[in-house]
Amino acid sequence: MTNSIFLNCLLTISTADWINIVIASVAFIAAIIALFTVNEIKKQRLHSYHPDINMADFSFYVYQGDYDEEIKTNFLYTYRERKNEGDSIGGFNQLTMDINNIGFGVAKNIKWKWDFDFDKAEKVICENQEVWWRMKDNILSVDSKELNVEWTYDIEEDNEERSFNFILPYSNENRKTEIVVPSYFVDLYWLYMAGQLLVEKPKAIYINFPSIELSVFYTDIQSNKISKIFNIDLKFDMISGPGNKSKELGKFRFEITEKNK
């Protein structure tokens, strides 16, 4: 009975009504397609404003600082450019690395923090029995009479999370955005490598010196949270101990890779 009623209804529909139904159906399908198209365009447009924080490898030089003869320790200074013989080595010194936004959108609310495996560093450095290592309450003290070293670091302060408001896309940014590399990382690497120079048959264990991790957190213009972890290895092109006549102790380079999560 129901089927016959339905067939009678279909027979009563005129040709003009059928045309209107077809037109309405086509318009409805076209509206759905247009909606999907608009959503895809919106996604592509938002993606085109996606920030992308990154960093590039770079080299730098390490020098023994000028110091008063009464101070019985070496202080290391780092410079991107090589110093001329006789140049003064001293004063305030920090090694910084450029952090860039290679995407097309603004990166906002940038925060970063460092993480370093001090236990592994102690293990490889203290294979040289002339190095004295002590960690207490996040204060690291490292001494070595052979290498004329008496260093102390506040690890909690060096690794404290830091931040700034935004980084513009690299194509629009005229100023450099830099972050400070913890001094302990370069110092301990030099101490380890210089210690190897004192050994008659040094082991090729510099490969085992731990890298340092840099975790970066930021948001895009839609407040979507983004995070990256960079693995930073130290390598050397030249290394010398503090007993040489020149104040130049080495040429190092940072090799930076993005760590898979």
Q: What is the pLDDT along the chain (261 residues), one digit of tens a residue?
A: 555 554 555 456 566 665 666 676 767 676 677 666 556 555 555 556 789 999 999 999 999 888 755 566 788 999 999 998 888 888 889 999 999 998 888 999 999 999 999 999 999 888 877 889 999 999 999 998 888 899 999 999 999 999 989 998 876 666 778 999 999 999 999 999 888 776 555 555 445 799 999 999 999 988 899 999 999 999 999 888 666 677 889 999 999 999 876
Rounded to whole angstroms, the Cα distance separating 260 from 249 reads: 34
Our CA angle for 188, 126, 117, nearest 5°, is: 55
Could you tell me the two tokens for 204?
């090729």
Whether 137 and 233 map to the same domain: the answer is yes
For residue 206, the 8-state DSSP code is: G
Q: Identify whether residues 142 and 177 lie together within a single domain.
A: yes
**pLDDT at 80 (0 to 100):** 92
Residues 16 and 73 in one domain: no
Residues 40 and 162 in one domain: no
CB 142 within 8 A of CB 133: yes
Query: Does one domain contain both 135 and 109?
Result: yes
Q: Same structural domain for residues 10 and 77?
A: no
Sheet holding 107-116, edge to edge: 76-79, 58-64, 248-258, 225-239, 212-219, 107-116, 162-167
Tell me the H-state helices in the chain: 2-12, 15-48, 118-125, 155-158, 183-197
237 with 110, same domain: the answer is yes
User: Are 61 and 39 contained in the same domain?
Assistant: no
Do residue 41 and residue 58 come from a single domain?
no
Residue 152's Cβ-count burial label (10 Å; 0-12, 13-18, 19+) is exposed
Q: Cβ distance 177 to 99 under 8 Å?
A: yes
Distance from C-alpha of 114 to C-alpha of 95, rounded to nearest angstrom: 14
Same domain, 32 and 150: no
Write down the pLDDT at residue 46.
55
Shared-domain flag, residues 170 and 93: yes
Residue-level pLDDT at 176: 78
Instruction: Answer yes or no: are the C-beta atoms of 101 and 107 closer than 8 Å.
Output: yes
Number of domains in the chain: 2
CA distance 122 to 134: 9
pLDDT, position 205: 47
pLDDT reported for residue 135 = 94
Residue 5 burial (10 A CB sphere; 0-12, 13-18, 19+): exposed
d(CA 124, CA 117): 11
Residue pair 191/149 in contact (Cβ under 8 Å)? The answer is: yes
Side-chain half-sphere CA neighbours of 183 within 13 A: 15
The boundaries of the domain holding residue 216 are 54-258
My answer on whether 13 and 73 are in the same domain is no
Alpha-carbon span 192 to 196, nearest angstrom: 7
